[in-house]
Amino acid sequence: MSRNRIQFGGPAKRQSRQSIPDHFEADIDNLSLEGRGIARINGKTCFITGALPGERVNAQITARHKRYDEAVVEEILVASGERRQPPCEYYGRCGGCQLQHLEPKLQLEYKQNQLLDQLKRFSDIEPQQVEAALTSEEFGYRRTARIGINQRADGELLIGFRRQASNKLLDIDQCPVLDSRINALLAALRNALTGLGDIKHLTHLDIACGDETGSLTIRTTRKLNQVQSEAIVQACSEQGFQFYIENNKGQIERVSSTAVQLSYQLPAQNINLSFAPGDFLQVNASINQKMVERALEWLSPTENDRVLDLFCGLGNFTLPLATKAARVVGVEGSAEMVARARDNAELNSLSNAEFYKGDLSSDIREGYWYRESRQDGFDLVLLDPPRAGAEACVRELAGYGARAVLYISCNPAALVRDAKLLKEAGYLMTRFSVMDMFPNTAHVESMALFEC
C-alpha cells in the first residue's frame, strides 16, 4: 500500500538561481581579469568571451559550473564605444590574444582596476601611491615564443598557435605581436620544409631573439633526416638565427655549425646579459628595460646596502643592482641559470654579485645560501617569482630586517596572497604599478614596493 506523502510548511521554496539558457541576451557589467565580459543571468554569474562592459549581447553557453557559467558572444546588439575592429585577421580564432577588440589604453585601465580591486577585497590592501603604468608598442613586442607545428595528411604544413578554447593548431602566416624577425623566420621555415616529406615528429618551435641574433629550438621525437636538417640550418642562417634540437630527454643540442653568443643589453645600466636557448627571458624587451629602471628607482640602493634578489634568473635585476649596492646575492632554482648569472657578472666586471642555487618553492631555511647570508641580513629584497608566487620566501622575509621589499608579479592571485603575508609581517604597500608586458592579451604583470 502506498502512503500519502505529508508535506509540512507549505510548498518547497524554489531556488533563486535558475539555469542560464543555452542561448541568451545579456547586459555586460564589468570585465574579468581574464578579459571576459561579466553578466548576471537569473542570479548566476556568467563570463562571456568577446563582450565588453556597457554592451548588450546575444551569447551562447560553452561550459556550465556550479557557481558560474561560461559563454561566447554570438551577436553584439549594443556595442561599447570602447570597442575597436581587431587588427589581427586571426583574432577570435587564435587563442593567443584576448583583448584586441578593446582600445590599448583601456585594456591597461581595466587590468589595473581589476588588480587593485582584488588586493582590496582579498588582502585589504590599498597602495599608498599608484604610479603610471609601464607601456610599450602594442605590436611587434614579443621576442620569445613557443609555436606549434604539425602536418596534414596531404603534407601541408601547419605553423601557428592553438585555437581559442581548443588544443587544435591554427595555421597562421604571421602574428602581429611577434618580433618581425620571428615572423620572417617562420615564413622562411615554412618555405624550407614544404615538400621535404614527413615532419610530424616535430612538435613545437621555441624561438628567442637577442639584440643581434636569435635561436630556433625544435622539439622533435626522432632525429631529422639530413635534407630536412640542412634546409632548416639554411633558413635560420639567412634570417640570423642559430638552429638547435631538443630531444625527448629535454637535452638541447646545437645543429648550426657556428656558435654565436645570444645576448641583450640594458642600456641605461650599461649591462650586457648573455643567455642560451631554453633560458627564461622577459618577453617584452622595452618593458623589461623600463621595469629594471623603475626597480632601481623604487629600491634606491646605496653603496652600503646589501641586497637579496630571489628568483634571479640570469641576473636581469641582480647585475643592475650590483652597480649601485655594496653586495647583491642572487638565488635561483636552476643550476644552469646560476652558472649563466655568474658568467654575466664576470662579463660585466661586477665582483660584488654572488649567485646561489636554491629551491625557493619549499622551506628556504634548508638552503645553504640562507644559512650563509641570514647572519648579516639584507637591507633590500627583490622577488621576481614564477606564477606560483613566493609564499615560502615571503614567510621568512621578516627575519631579514629589510627596510623594503620589491615584488614583481606575473600572477594577480599569487600577488594578493603574498601581499597579505607581507602585510602581516609589518610591511606596507607604498608604491604600485602595472606593466603591460603582454599588450592585447589578458595577462597582467605588476610591481609593488613594500616598506616597514
Q: Decide the pairing of beta strands 169-171 and 157-162.
A: antiparallel
Reported as a single tens digit per residue, the pLDDT across 40-85 is 999 999 999 999 999 999 999 999 999 999 999 999 999 999 999 9
CA-to-CA distance for 247 and 265, rounded, in angstroms?
A: 30
- pLDDT tops 50 at residue 29: yes
Given 46, 236, 312, 410, the catalytic residue:
410
Q: What is the pLDDT of residue 288?
A: 99
The model's confidence at residue 17, banded by pLDDT at 50, 70 and 90, is low
452 known ligand binder = no
164 known ligand binder = no
How far does the chain reach from its first CA to its final CA, in angstroms?
A: 76
* Grid coordinates given for 325: 649596492
pLDDT > 70 fraction of the chain, expressed in percent and rounded: 95
24 known ligand binder = no
Q: Which residues pair with 149 in a beta bridge?
A: 159
CB neighbours of residue 62 within 10 Å:
14
Reported as a single tens digit per residue, the pLDDT across 230-249 is 999 999 999 999 999 999 88
User: Are 364 and 370 spatial neighbours (Cβ–Cβ below 8 Å)?
Assistant: yes
355 known ligand binder = no
Average pLDDT of every residue of the chain:
93
| Domain annotation for the chain: domains and CATH numbers | 23-83 (2.40.50.140), 110-137+265-451 (3.40.50.150), 144-254 (2.40.50.1070)
Mean pLDDT of 402-408: 98
Q: What is the pLDDT of residue 376?
A: 76
* Grid coordinates given for 430: 607604498
- Which helix (DSSP H) or strand (DSSP E) does residue 203 occupy? strand 202-209
Cα distances from 158 to residues 178, 237, 375, in angstroms, run 17, 22, 56
CA dihedral 416, 419, 425, 428 (to 10 degrees): -130
Question: Is 209 marked active-site?
Answer: no
- pLDDT tops 50 at residue 10: no
Place of cell 629584497: 381
pLDDT > 90 fraction of the chain, expressed in percent and rounded: 87
Cα distances from 353 to residues 217, 238, 317, 324, 397, in angstroms, run 31, 38, 11, 11, 20
94 known ligand binder = yes
282 known ligand binder = yes
46 known ligand binder = no
Q: Which long-range contacts (C-beta less than 8 Å, at least 24 apart) are formed by 197-203?
A: 197/225, 197/227, 197/228, 198/151, 199/149, 199/151, 199/157, 199/228, 200/150, 200/151, 202/149, 203/148, 203/149
Reported as a single tens digit per residue, the pLDDT across 89-125 is 999 999 999 999 999 999 999 999 999 999 999 999 9
88 known ligand binder = yes
Mean pLDDT of 428-449: 98
CA-to-CA distance for 343 and 339, rounded, in angstroms?
A: 6
332 known ligand binder = yes
